[in-house]
A and B are shown apart, each in its own frame.
Chain A
Amino acid sequence: MMRVSWLLAGWLLASPVFAAEPATKAPAALVDAVPKLVTVGPAITETVFALGMGEKVVGVDDTSLALSVARGRPRVGYLRALSSESLLALEAGWLLATDEAGPPGVLEQLRTAGMEVVVLPNKPTVEEARQRIRALATKLGRVSEGEAVVSSLEKDLKRAEARAAVKPAKPTRVLALYARGANALMVAGAETATNELIRLAGAVNAVSGYSGHKPLTAEAAVLAAPDIILLPASTLTALGGEQGLRGVPGLSQVKGWKVVAIEDVHFMSLGPQLGKAVHLLQDGMGLPARDET
């Protein structure tokens, strides 16, 4: 065991990761200073690609595969059930992961095997989303690109805020659903990424009184009386489109709602594209578009 740690120490010191931080050099040199990456969690994967470091990504978790940019990359499994060996086999230097990644023992094993494991929080707030972009940008030596991503996000959110300023007589009620499996529809409550999207769009969550996700019951659906049903595109397809959604017990009893489908990743975390999702929801709410001058 002792010998292994010496070997590791030597290898780590010799690796370019610990070389002095290069000042803003040619991008090529920068890209070389970053080892191969495995990204776990859609917000992290999306941010790394947005920072122009997608070519360094040699593996992503299953939830990140919903992103079009990450399609076709090697999989490292489900984010809560990573397997240490398949991850190590990709020979990446860094694992950039959301704090949902696990199991804990596996992260420990990866550190032991010489990978640098960076864990970032996944609290569903805009502030946290900004922090995450900046933290990753700093880590990858792409600070200016990071600021560009943040400011484009800010612009989207500013426009959304302007659109939401027009208050309807009564607030739009949004019910956010996703399918956790066949016949297992879950509803997003408080303290979820979806809840934050609804707030940013200027609507209200049709369910209240709990945080996290809870199974949808027919009576709760009737009580929620939603104007809009927000769901991931994959869930809508799985249910058989809007027709299938109208057949869901409870929702079949409520009249007059509209469907808004957004990309799956927005249901899991607030990534750099969260502003776009807010606008999609606002389009569904029928808010007039406003162009910021």
Chain B
Amino acid sequence: MSASGVASTPVPASFPTREQARPARSRPRPWWVLGTALVGAVVTSLAVGSVRVPLLGLAGSVLEGLGLEVGHRLEPMQEAVLLSIRMPRVVLGVLVGAVLATCGAALQALFRNPLVEPGLLGTSSGAALGAVTAIVLDVALSSRLGPFRVMAVPGAAFIGALGATLLAQRIGSGGGRTETARILLSGVAVSAGAAAGIGLLMQVATDAQLRTITFWTWGSLGGASWSVVAASAVPLLVALWLLLREARSLNLLLLGEREAWHLGVDVERLKRRLILAAALGVGAAVSVTGIIGFVGLLVPALLRLALGPDHRRLMGASALLGSTLLVVADTLSRTAADPAELPVGALTSVLGVPVFVALLSRSKGTV
């Protein structure tokens, strides 16, 4: 049965300015604001840090790269800091922030609940269980893996994330129909199981492993390098693309599952696709940065208050704001308490909560 009333053409990436039904709540072009904020955050993040990178030298180096000698240039060390420490860190922040926020937006729409976040499906705790297992088994693994040892923890985290999410989905979709409430409950159960596993593993972990584990569970972009970015960019971008293209279906899903089905959305397949895409994205994110909470919960909820519930805007806007939030939080994490690095997950909350509360108290509408 094809729903002839609804054209099934894919939504173009640029958004037509349409008269909104609720002019009070609509801001026709949030893209300028969000885009500018992201560019500002990225430039600031590249410019600040313990190592001073003078602008004059930077300009000189760039010009020299273009074949113009101007006498000013960066010291090799400054150049190395910029190119091999700050840049990969910023790129990773942009990617991971976008993916976490977009996953949050998609899952909140899928479960029609603004309190859902990617961790609820067991994804984060599954990743943590994988990582902790790899850390505790480190000695056994390291001799076999050789040069791939660096990838052991992220790889195990990724497998753990996918495994836990698939398990939650399998338990939740008894009898072929995926009940959202059941999936959430089974996600909670899988999370609890993974947490118990972590607790038991921590009992057999050595002192050194315990410290690695705590470092990992705080979330950090500190280990970013081009190889980490290269390894994680593919799954992150694929997940982002898979989620962004479902914007229209998500809008229809907001009407209710039956209504969406009558409008031509294959709801079962949509659920499976979204959950898998979210597992792919969050799994890849958690495996390289550890657990960074709150971005996936806060950013989409905040934007829904500001922009209204149209997912054709909400998804892209979430990606931009998620990136911005994470890049700003990471910049603070490495500068605020120098030489120590603050856990970036705590800073995303510190930055986000006041804004969220302010918006919430001002908004009269429903979430």
Contact = CB atoms under 8 A, between A and B. Distances in A.
A89 B50 CA distance: 6
Contacts of B25: none
Contacts of B334: 83, 85
Contacts of A10: 76
Given A4-B76, A86-B50, A105-B228, A80 B84 contact: no
A103 B222 contact: yes
B83 interface: yes
B13 interface: no
Interface in A41-100: 74-78, 80-89, 91, 100
6 tightest Cβ-Cβ pairs between the two chains A and B? A105-B223, A86-B339, A89-B50, A113-B80, A77-B339, A86-B50
B366 to A, nearest CB: 43
Given A83-B338, A91-B77, A212-B207, A106 B222 contact: yes
Interface in B167-210: 206-208
B367 interface: no
Contacts of A84: 85, 222
Contacts of A91: 77
B339 A7 contact: no
Contacts of A100: 208
Contacts of B51: 85, 88-89
A3 interface: yes
Contacts of B49: 85, 89
A78 B340 contact: yes
B225 interface: yes
A161 B333 CA distance: 50
Given A81-B215, A83-B339, A105 B76 contact: no
A86 B340 CA distance: 8
Interface in A219-257: none
A95 to B, nearest CB: 13
Interface of A: 1, 3-4, 7-8, 10-11, 74-78, 80-89, 91, 100, 102-106, 108-109, 112-114, 211-213
Select the residue from B80, B208, B215, B339 with max chain A CB neighbours within 10 A. Answer: B339
A7 B84 contact: no
Interface of B: 49-52, 65, 76-77, 79-81, 83-86, 150, 206-208, 211-212, 215, 220, 222-226, 228, 334, 338-341
A88 B81 contact: yes
28 contacts: A4-B76, A4-B80, A7-B79, A77-B341, A80-B208, A80-B211, A80-B212, A81-B215, A83-B50, A83-B334, A83-B339, A83-B341, A84-B85, A85-B85, A86-B338, A88-B77, A88-B85, A89-B50, A91-B77, A105-B224, A105-B225, A108-B225, A109-B84, A109-B85, A113-B77, A114-B77, A212-B206, A212-B207
Select the residue from A8, A11, A74, A88 with max chain B CB neighbours within 10 A. Answer: A88
Contacts of A114: 76-77, 80
Contacts of B76: 4, 7-8, 10-11, 114
A245 to B, nearest CB: 22
Contacts of A80: 208, 211-212, 215
Nearest to B82: A4
A85 B225 CA distance: 13
Nearest to B339: A86
A211 B80 contact: no
B204 to A, nearest CB: 10
Given A8-B76, A91-B77, A113-B85, 12 more contacts: A4-B79, A4-B84, A75-B339, A77-B339, A80-B208, A81-B341, A83-B338, A85-B51, A88-B81, A103-B215, A112-B85, A211-B206
A88 B50 contact: yes
A104 B223 contact: yes
A80 B208 CA distance: 9
A102 B224 CA distance: 13
A88 to B, nearest CB: 5
Nearest to A76: B339
Contacts of B77: 88, 91, 113-114
A82 B211 CA distance: 13
Nearest to B49: A85
Contacts of B223: 103-106
B163 to A, nearest CB: 25
Given A100-B208, A108-B225, A114-B76, A87 B339 contact: yes
B337 to A, nearest CB: 9
A4 B83 contact: yes
Nearest to A77: B339
Select the residue from A7, A83, A91 with max chain B CB neighbours within 10 A. Answer: A83
Contact of A85 (B50, B83, B150, B226): B50
B256 to A, nearest CB: 47
A108 B224 CA distance: 10
Nearest to A88: B51
Nearest to A110: B85
Contacts of A3: 65
Contacts of A85: 49-51, 81, 85-86, 334
A212 B79 CA distance: 42
Contacts of A108: 225
